[in-house]
Amino acid sequence: MDSLSEIAEKIKNCRRCELWKSNTNYVPGEGNENSKIVFIGEAPGREEDVQGKPFVGNAGKLLTEMISKKLKLSRDDVFITNVLKCRPPKNRDPLPEEVEKCKPYLIEQLKLLKPKVIVCLGRHSAKLIFELFGMEFNGISSIRGKFFEIKTEWGDSKVVAVYHPAAVLYRPQLREVLERDFEKISSAINLKNTRRGMRTLNEYFDL
């Protein structure tokens, strides 16, 4: 199996859909390769396309704030990626055929990372992850903030979806919901630690 950097190299040569023609940079994802928590967004926006890094624009600042304030972790402790690795023109929604063609990269990343917790940022990510793990997806509002146990080829894992940080910036009244959902993620991680004894978060992530 390829390493994460080999997958990133493959992504940087990708011609599976048309998005390579309009992108500035590919955005394969980044973070701690040993992290047991993975955040999956929708697709790079303008700033991500310029920098080649996920979640570095305004939505990224909010995500980074949630990770540090609510989970007491830094971006470098976790792995962050997207459903699509290229920016759709004018930030339009991903097309079903783009998701289908890009999906194998995300699957390969997940198989290597073997996450214990997958956090879906927004409906496009939640829809794909639910479908991949054979669960019915009926919209983000009904599932956000709930933990779903999944069986994967790397063992038991959990999926949780939250509102997309960009949606929260657009509708500030959702911020409280996002904060509460991140608090739930924090306690789910801590609960696991407590059951296993006096583990620190980092030890948990190294499991």
Q: How far apart are CA 137 and CA 129, in angstroms?
A: 9
Instruction: Answer yes or no whether residue 115 interacts with ligand URA by CB under 6 A.
Output: no
Instruction: Answer yes or no whether residue 48 interacts with ligand URA by CB under 6 A.
Output: yes
Output the CA torsion sign for 167, 172, 177, 178: positive
Contact between residue 114 and residue 155 where contact means Cβ atoms under 8 Å apart: yes
- List the helix and strand counts (H, then E) for the chain: 9, 6
Instruction: Answer yes or no whether residue 54 interacts with ligand URA by CB under 6 A.
Output: yes
Instruction: Answer yes or no whether residue 49 interacts with ligand URA by CB under 6 A.
Output: no
Q: Applying CB under 6 A, which of residues 30, 42, 49, 77 lies at the interface with ligand URA?
A: 42
Q: Which residues are paired to 162 by β-bridges?
A: 121
What residues numbered 150-169 form the site for ligand URA, per CB under 6 A? 166
* Count of residues of this chain found to bind ligand URA when the rule CB under 6 A is applied: 13
Q: Which is nearer to ligand URA, 31 or 41 (CB)?
A: 41
Q: Which is nearer to ligand URA, 128 or 166 (CB)?
A: 166
Candidates 117, 135, 123; CA nearest to 99 is: 123
* DSSP-derived pairing of the beta strands 30-31 and 79-82: antiparallel
Output the CA torsion sign for 186, 192, 197, 199: negative
Instruction: Answer yes or no whether residue 178 interacts with ligand URA by CB under 6 A.
Output: no
Residue 60: Cβ within 10 Å count: 21
Instruction: Answer yes or no whether residue 120 interacts with ligand URA by CB under 6 A.
Output: no
Instruction: Answer yes or no whether residue 59 interacts with ligand URA by CB under 6 A.
Output: yes
Query: In this chain, which stretch among 49-57, 135-143, 172-180, 186-194 interacts with ligand URA, using CB under 6 A?
Result: 49-57
Q: Least distance to ligand URA from the beta carbon of 59, Å?
A: 4
Q: Least distance to ligand URA from the beta carbon of 199, Å?
A: 30
Q: Which is nearer to ligand URA, 39 or 205 (CB)?
A: 39
Candidates 58, 193, 43; CA nearest to 117 is: 193
State the residues that interact with ligand URA by CB under 6 A. Answer: 41-45, 48, 54-55, 57, 59-60, 82, 166
